[in-house]
A and B are shown apart, each in its own frame.
Chain A
Amino acid sequence: MRAPFSSLFLISLASSFAFCGGTASGADDPVTAAMKLYEKRRYEQAGRLLEDARFDGERGAQAQLVLGMIYLRSADLHEAFARTAAAAQLDYLDKLSKTGGEGRSRYARLYLAEALLARGNAREAARHFERVRADPGVDGHYRSIAGIGLGAAFWAQGESARARKLWSEPPQDAIEIRLARAAAQGRAGVLDAKTLQRVADDARGEKYLSPRTRRYLVEIYLAAAAPDQALAVARAADLGTASYVERFKAAEGTAKTLAFYDLALLNDLAQLYRELARRRLEQAAADPRTKPTAEYYLAEALSGLGENDKAAESAQAFLARPQAPAQYRERSRARLALLTYRQGKREDAERIWTNIADQSSDPEVLAAVVLGCAEAQAQCTKVLARAGQAAEAGDVRRTQRLGYALGVYYLRKQDFARAIAYMEGGRDKSNKNKIEANDPEMLAALAEAYYRTKKFSEGLEIFFEMSQEFAVVRQIQEAVQGVYSMEQRSAGDVRIL
């Protein structure tokens, strides 16, 4: 459990209360209840609790602050899901699209193209979109969607004229195609917010919204700078539902089915939560009572959104406050170092990180530094040596976050054995897959490392448990199961234990 972090946060929250002279309410107060759920990592439940509540004045500012924190963690978590999902889905869809013969899938390639585009590989995505468009076995509806996707792939490669041409192909009535086009154009910035809002609002009036439709609506509302409406769409959906189920015919026996999911949904949710976090924290920062704590988290939100200058401003404002707790101060400095790195001042950044690591024995601070190095993909040799020693020597209960940070660093370096060793070192094994005891971001990263080392059942166990809170992980489970069934090489043994 992230006990040190949460208790220090509570000190900060109490400080902001003390600063403004406010007092916490009783046990059934939604803000308090939401904080308790937040500490148990039940982010969905925590968020819904506060979203549904109404507050005024001081309590309102606190609610915005807590919501901001919840959304920030949700954003990070969905980003972790997206990374793990990408690893498994790209493999799975690639294998499916290469399977020939009578039982070959017509739709694996479309989903592969969309997944590649979602992960920034526009060139490969274009190649697959083109093949889908040329396949007479694919329904015309999905060939049209592939055309729009191809346009998005061209746009991402700077070929705007080709993109516009594809997007201007004869309009069709089907809601999914209308929305696919609007989503692609919204992402590209060629439609204004008002038009996007209108397209989305019109579609929401439909009786039935398919999973694909919902995904487009989230994207369109995000592009229209209407994240609250995007959230409403997401909340109304069963995020574990497949985007498309391909059903095969069988002359005799069982007809197989394949379920496909939108990898882009995870990216969209990560972006949505980060945008929501920014808004809530900006609101909290407008209130002098919650401003100090809000500034701290706002820096993180803005950094995640790529708004480096504004993030730096927030971090510096926080650091300028004399009453900022030491651990948070150091973490803020670590974040500033990351922003410095992004500005191209790599040596300066590494120097700051090394300095922080040398002077701190706090595993949470060391974790923040290592995560910065991981994000930047910096060498950080001295930092890693110091952090590694601290992780190995420390109490497991205190060094979980540090183990996670080191695990993420080595995961991004593709040193999977080391990644697993560090993350497992910090894992509460007696509550192996429980998110109350183990940070779900860590579990998602660990599942990715296990997937990469073909220990598929370990990852599936993690997501089985996590699916109880986060339905959206279903797409990861399906992809990992698919790859596992193809890759496993066991003989068919079963024994009495």
Chain B
Amino acid sequence: MKTRTMLKLVFLIGTAFALPLQAAPKNDGRPDGGLLNYSEYGRTSTLDPVTSNETIALRITELVFNGLVGIDEKQEIVPELAERWEASKDGRVYTFFLRKDVKWHPREGEEARPFSADDVVFTYNIMMHPKTITPLKVRYEFIEKVEKTGDYSVVFTLKRPILNALAKFSFKILPKHGPRNPQFLTREDPFARAPIGTGPYMLKTVTGDGEVVLVANPDYFKGRAHIDKFIAKPFADQNIMTQALMFNAVDMIVLVNPRNLPEVQGDKRFVMQPYNALSYSFFGYNMRNPLLADKKVREAIALALNRQEMLSSFFNSQGTVISGPFAPGSWAYNLDVKPLAFDPEKARALLAEAGFKPGADGTMEKGGKKLALSLKVPIEKESEAVKRVVLAFQNYLKAVGIAVNVEFKEWQAWKEDVFLEHNFDIMFASWVFDDSADISSLFHSAEIGAWKNNFGGYSNPEVDGLIVEAKLTLDHEKRRTINRKLHAILAEEQPYAFLWTLTNYSAFHRKVRRVQIHPYKFFSFADEWFIPASEQK
């Protein structure tokens, strides 16, 4: 008896040592299991958090990666890869003490490697390398250096104290062993398409149809996420996305087409939550074209557009016309700046002031050159509403003597034209912002260049100065005052024709419980979501 018990004990101890250490389950009484299909409007080319600048990748990286800190639904900083931190009194030195129980997602056939301070230092260095193409550099220019002070401790020294410093350390950490090139990261690195992180979900595969399949990370340090699998399904047409939800082909839509809101709201199977409130649509100009470098021309275009009519006709008035570079829900919106009124007479007068005269075909001319511009629109955003907006834009401009040639391009090709080659005159797109109202990467002249957000080449020393001043100040109200000034200047300068913010909702099937959607990142709390056992598939 004694021998048997001893043998059992030895066996149990041996087994315990043989099995890999697993993160604990959540122990919150909620069931594991199930599959969540969600629809994405378009596809992404990269899945890493450094090189991508689009929202599809943002949502996926939120599932796959972690930062040193996170931000919870109460706008409070919470530990993530760092379990605690210290800040110096002068606000210039931040020391992070890292968790010791975190593992990187394992690659096929490999053991999972432990996360350490080396990864943090690596991430910062690769992000800031001159050859890494990323919009993140401008955000982290305030960091002077980062040093590893132990396997699980890292010190960041800042050039100066900044407002809200701790929130900045929510940037996603990459594995040192991840990218092929250990120096800098490009979109061509395999890591950009097959990333590994520490997050609640691991990338399993990207299918030929562009579906991104993610599976729960059994070793997630906060406890395994409940839902077994997420699949991101790309759709080129928002109407079909809604139909997919209605017919149970997907369980969740990230953004409901505004025209489909009544249909989805009327169906009690679904819940709707607001999402991407801080976004707006615009026509962006390439200032490298001398025609568009003229402010009078840009202002004439804005005056020629009846934005309220477009919003009413194509989006059922589900949105708000805006006047400048912030969404109406932003704290930075200047409430005193009103949108330019629809005034084609004034538009023509401005063009005349700029030296244009109508040619034989009605198109304005100056110095023998026609006022003819190209408009490039991404084809994966080719919804019926977008087509109508683009057509209307063409017609409004024709009415004041500006010829517009519209070209629909495949998403990746469009991005290359706009962000890399700058081969366009006008483009149509939307920006989405987090709560920070940081427009520095959009309008500062240092952000002109390949794959940078100031794709139009806009340069204004006064705007540069204000952007820098906003970054340097430690006074919240001063920053507000500066942003109001920026809004007023950019509303007058019109580097974009600022259009509208649409009414944005996500929708999901009721079977998915405990859903809290982060208003910008979407999946920040997805590890808590669950599907009751009886409704899992």
Contacts and interface: CB of A to CB of B under 8 A. Distances in A.
B276 A493 contact: no
A489 B75 contact: yes
B436 interface: yes
Interface of A: 96, 99, 103, 253-258, 396, 424, 428-434, 453-458, 460-461, 464-465, 467, 474, 477-478, 480-482, 484-497
A494 B434 contact: yes
Given A257-B481, A490-B434, 12 more contacts: A99-B477, A253-B465, A254-B469, A431-B317, A457-B435, A458-B274, A461-B320, A461-B501, A491-B434, A493-B58, A494-B438, A497-B432
15 contacts: A99-B475, A256-B475, A432-B318, A453-B74, A456-B331, A458-B277, A460-B333, A461-B501, A481-B332, A487-B75, A490-B520, A493-B436, A493-B438, A494-B441, A496-B429
Nearest to A483: B331
Contacts of A258: 477
A432 B77 contact: no
Nearest to A481: B331
A254 B276 CA distance: 31
B280 to A, nearest CB: 9
Interface stretch (B29-37, B105-113, B228-236, B261-269): B261-269
- What secondary structure prevails in chain A residues at the interface with B? mixed
A253 B469 contact: yes
Contacts of A477: 335
A485 B480 contact: yes
Interface stretch (B81-89, B162-170, B353-361, B529-537): B162-170
A494 B167 contact: no
- 3 closest residue pairs by CB, A with B: A457-B329, A492-B438, A490-B434
B485 A254 contact: yes
Interface centre among A457, A458, A474, A487 (most CB of B within 10 A): A457
Contacts of A396: 265-266
Interface string B428-458: 0111111111111110000000000100000
Contact of A430 (B53, B316, B469, B485): B316
B192 interface: no
Contacts, number: 177
Contact of A465 (B262, B320, B436, B469): B320
A314 to B, nearest CB: 39
A497 B55 contact: yes
A458 B329 contact: yes
B199 interface: no
Nearest to B74: A454
A496 B328 contact: no
Contact of B435 (A103, A478, A484): A484
B168 A491 contact: yes
A12 to B, nearest CB: 30
B278 interface: yes
Given A429-B272, A488-B436, A496 B478 contact: no
A496 B479 contact: no
Given A430-B318, A460-B331, A461-B329, A496 B435 contact: no
Contacts of A490: 71, 164, 167, 434-436, 520
A254 B478 contact: yes
A88 to B, nearest CB: 12
Nearest to A461: B329
Given A429-B503, A490-B434, A495-B58, A457 B262 contact: no
In this complex, which of A256, A424, A477 has the most chain B Cβ atoms within 10 angstroms of its Cβ? A256
Interface in B89-132: none
Nearest to A492: B438
B314 interface: no
Interface string B408-439: 00000001000000000000011111111111
A481 B480 contact: yes
A495 B453 CA distance: 9
Contacts of B74: 453-454
B55 A486 contact: no
Contacts of B440: 492
